[in-house]
Amino acid sequence: MIEASGRGTIVNNKVRRLMIDTAKENNIKHQVDIVSGGMTDGAVIYMNRSGILTAILSLATRYLHAATSVFDINDLNEGVKLTQKLIEKVAQGKAL
């Protein structure tokens, strides 16, 4: 997973594997994407000090910077499920 054609966050392979494996283990719908446009705050975290493991979990959204945006509520629900499962793994010491 790469953001802004390599100028932003480049997700560590362990973190990438954790996210993908967790999604697959829990039948959570997901897509892996390479974003060629702008960056998120994750890029600042990723490049801070000697580097902090960072990943970006985002939703496909139309009109993101407009007064109103549009997304599929099912995508949001899947993102919430993935976030919950990732937190559980980390809390149980089963991650990284």
**Is residue 25 classed as helix, strand or coil in its secondary structure?**
helix
What residues form DSSP beta bridges with 3?
35
- Structurally, the chain folds into a number of domains equal to 1
Residue 86 located in a structural domain: yes
The more confident residue out of 1 and 88 is 88
Q: What is the pLDDT of residue 65?
A: 86
Q: What is the pTM of this model?
A: 0.80
Question: The domain containing residue 83 runs over which residues?
Answer: 4-91
Compute the CA torsion angle 26, 45, 76, 93 (nearest 10 deg): 30
Q: Is residue 27 part of a domain?
A: yes
CA R_g for the chain: 14
pLDDT digits (tens, 9 = 90+) for 27-85: 999 988 766 667 777 777 777 777 778 888 888 889 988 999 999 999 999 999 999 99
Quote the DSSP letter at residue 62: B
Residue 40 CB-density burial (10 A; 0-12 exposed, 13-18 middle, 19+ buried)? middle
Residue 96 domain-assigned (yes or no): no
pLDDT computed for residue 6 by the predictor: 57
Question: How much is the pLDDT for 8?
Answer: 64
Would 28 be classed as within a structural domain?
yes
